[in-house]
Chains A and B, each alone.
Chain A
Amino acid sequence: MTCAEFREAVLDALTGDAPPGSAAEVRHHRAGCPACARWARETEDLWGALGSIPAPELGDGARARIAGRLRRRSASPRAIVVAAYAATLALAFLAGRGTGPTLEPVSTDTPGLAAGTVDETASSAPQWILLLHEPTGAPLTVAGTVEAAAAVEEYRAWAMALAGDGRLVSAEKLEDGPGAWIPEAAARPTLVSGFFLVRAPDRAEAERIAAESPHVRRGGTVEVRRVDPT
């Protein structure tokens, strides 16, 4: 490896683009070339110092102003035209399949809702599963009705809020109808119609999230269980 190639490799490594297998050559050159070793140290220091330069946060006032402007813009005639798709989209979120006449296709293994990590605290918190039970043994609403559409809207808004805070890991709605029981059981437990996988620092917070869910408001029961970290 020449000195020029070494320096290119050091720069590639800083951006995470180093080709696999080049590390040994880089180490070897660095050990045998004091000038390049010094150049690499200075460049790595420069890269580190560059990354520590601060930027101001977007202020709360500006954030609210921009969010309001975006919301007003979103409530455009175009949004009204496509409002007919809203329930389908919401169901797609909950069911994990983004379908709709005007939408680009997605792969069949696309998860339902997968949350980002908006803040570090949320991203490292334990995971809790919220199992949605239907106490009556049947879905709370009948698909295709106005009530079902309203319910979907309610779940969607709740899920969006969780996702926006980085608390939602994933969510799936299960297909309506009875499942198969293996082995056949005489006394069947309640119907589970879906789940939300969320992050919360402790059980109290997980239970608070469950208590605020539309499922509880609509008369359902939510079972809160921590995902075993092991």
Chain B
Amino acid sequence: MTTHDDPDTLDRVLARAAAGGDADAAAVLFRRHADAVHACCYRLVGDRDAAEDLTQDVFLRVLRDIGQFRGESRFRTWLLRAARNRVVDWGREHARRRAREERMALEGEAEAATPRDQAGTLARRDLVARALDRLRPESREVLVLARFHDLPHAELAVALGCTAAAARVRLHRAMHELREQVIALEGGTP
């Protein structure tokens, strides 16, 4: 028997139904992608409350404009593009605040439940997280989309609104910047 384990196909079907006013389809799309959108927003703004508000904004806008989704990219990529754009707008209105406190609290919770032999790994992760915080927004967003949402160059291009070649250059540059920030933090440079 042939099976159809293709989440992207289901997303396209659901998106068509939601575009036709099907509230159940819209609700399923939200359930399927809420965590990804929220995680993306959180990693870009570093603020838990703001990430929740942004997640709501993203879904309200996406479902309002869902008729514009033509299925030329994965629905999730289209959604992440909307999230990224909303965060850019948000960034114009708000400084990046409370990022470090939020992250430290979160990692503190994880650390409390982690065996001592993983302390080195956690320290390394904290260092990289701090380096990520110090990047320019343009570099942070490309790393978040590529690393946490597994977008290859072609889909990064859709999410960032640029060409695949440009997305590749941005990603490589961002990795070099991240590496420099890590080295700076290891060396005690403020």
Which A residues form the contact surface with B (CB < 8 A)?
A: 8, 11-12, 14-17, 42-43, 45-47, 49-59, 62-63, 65-67, 69-71, 73-76, 78-83, 85-86, 89, 93, 98, 100, 102-104, 106, 110-118, 123, 127, 129, 156-157, 160, 163-164, 169-170, 197, 227
- A164 lies within 8 A of B60 (CB): no
How many residues belonging to B are interface residues under a CB distance threshold of 8 Å? 71
Q: Give the complex CA separation of A156 and B168 in angstroms.
A: 42
Task: Let me know if B80 is at the binding interface, CB within 8 A.
Answer: no
The answer on a CB contact under 8 Å between A118 and B32 is yes
Most buried by A among B6, B22, B48, B148: B22
Tell me the smallest distance from the CB of B44 to a CB of chain A, in Å.
10
Which chain B residues lie closer than 8 Å to A117 at the CB level? 5, 7
For A56, give its contact among B14, B106, B121 (CB under 8 Å): B106
**Is B152 touching A46 in the complex (CB atoms < 8 A)?**
no
Chain A nearest Cβ from B85, distance in angstroms: 18
Question: How long is the Cα–Cα vector from A16 to B152 in the complex, in angstroms?
Answer: 7
Q: What is the minimal beta-carbon distance from A51 to any residue of chain B, in angstroms?
A: 5
Other A-B pairs, 8, CB within 8 Å; known A15-B146, A57-B38: A56-B48, A66-B52, A70-B27, A79-B22, A93-B13, A98-B17, A104-B16, A117-B5
- Point out which of A49, A110, A129 has the most chain B C-beta atoms below 10 A from its C-beta: A49
Give the one of A53, A62, A156 with max B CB within 10 A: A53
Indicate which residue in A11, A14, A81 contacts B21 across the interface (CB closer than 8 Å). Answer: A81
Residues of B in contact with A (beta carbons under 8 Å apart): 1, 3-7, 9-14, 16-28, 30-32, 34-35, 38-39, 42-43, 48, 51-52, 55-56, 59-60, 63-64, 70-71, 102-103, 106-107, 110, 121, 124-125, 127-129, 132, 143, 146-148, 150, 152-153, 168, 171-172, 175, 178-179, 182
User: A89 to B17, Cβ gap below 8 A?
Assistant: yes
Q: Which 5 A-B pairs have the closest CB atoms?
A: A116-B7, A79-B21, A111-B4, A74-B23, A114-B4
